[in-house]
Amino acid sequence: MIATVFSPGVVVLVGAVFLACTVEMVEALTIVLAVGHTRGWRSALEGVGAALIALAALVAGFGPALVHVPLNWLRLVVGGVLLIFGMQWLRKAILRSCGLKAKHDEDEIYRKKVAELKAVDAAVGRDRVAFVVAFKGVFLEGLEVVIIVLTLGTSAHRLSLAIVVAAIAVVIVSTAGVVVARQLSRVPENAMKTSVGVLLVTYGTFWVGEGLKVTWPGNDVMLVVFVLLYAVVTWLLILFMRRVHPNVNTVAP
């Protein structure tokens, strides 16, 4: 029982969903805080609620449907999507680590969003601008989380676990966001994005292999091997890129 709960597959699944959800929710929360502080909380929270309902409907609609796809095909397609998605995240994180891409600065995003919102005339009663901006912020950031939850959850036959972990991450980030208010820039986003990238590429590799009937030595244990492999490769690529581009500002990987 304990061995199943703490199997490499479950640990990697929980880690990937939790970190991805946390990173995306930090980005969404920055927008919601900017909307709430500038235009009032009522319409901002209505926008957040509507977006969460829309995201939950997507999970409820597509989740059960995906379970009926033959497992090998599901794992091959999901593995391919996760490989692409994971490498995109890793690429961005590595470029940010060596200064070739601007760091995701939540303070700066907050300031810009506040300035944009202040430029629009205040509404009487329900604020349509606040609703739409909060809805879009949460829905668009949440969409990536939904894709990660659906793909990882259904392929591992642990959709419920993936949903629960994502919900826990949303609650933790929301609570922390309210407590620390506008100090979201202190969240080590790039390090978290690097970790999510490593985990997504790990699962992508594993499931493309499974989908193509490759027999992995040690089965699930290969997930741990892939995590270590991709973490080391990422670290080496960051060192190499910093050496090639020494005159740019660097941020923590």
Partner 1 sequence: MESKPSLPVRLLKGFAMFWWDFLVGDTPELFVAVVFTIGVVALLSLDGHFNAAAAIALPALAVLALTLSLWRASRAARK
CB of 86 within 8 A of CB of 197?
yes
Footprint on this chain of partner 1 (rule: CB under 8 A): 76, 80-81, 83-85, 87-88, 90-91, 94-95, 100, 147, 201, 204-205, 208-209, 212-217, 226, 229-230, 233, 237, 241, 244-245
Residue 251's CB is within 10 A of a number of other CB atoms, namely 18
CA distance 28 to 48: 9
CA distance 190 to 63: 29
